[in-house]
Amino acid sequence: MLLKVHVLGEGIIGQTALNGKYQWIQADGPSGEWNSFRSTENKHTFQDDSEVCYQFSSGIKTIVVVPVEPQGLVQFGSTEKISERLDFVD
């Protein structure tokens, strides 16, 4: 993990912190396309999220970002494509 400052409202981390809703994102193909189940209405906001693209190009297939108030966020990644599970988020 890299130490990085995130701007509230920008990118996956910033959007999750701002709206308080988890993000479940999966790589959809070998060329690095991805799909965010919780943010389809905000798809354009996340198109240029280079951190997510870098993780997917490194072999990550699923990323989950969960708000943990008031502490912040927790980000999980898997090299397997995992279907969205609310019990995991809870």
Q: What is the pLDDT along the chain (90 residues), one digit of tens a residue?
A: 455 666 666 778 888 888 899 999 988 755 545 555 544 444 444 455 677 788 888 899 999 999 998 878 899 999 999 999 999 998
Which positions ≥6 away from 30 have C-beta within 8 Å? none
Q: Which residues pair with 25 in a beta bridge?
A: 36, 63
Which positions ≥6 away from 41 have C-beta within 8 Å? none
pLDDT of residue 50: 73
pLDDT of residue 38: 46
Give the integer Cα–Cα distance in Å for 27 and 6: 22
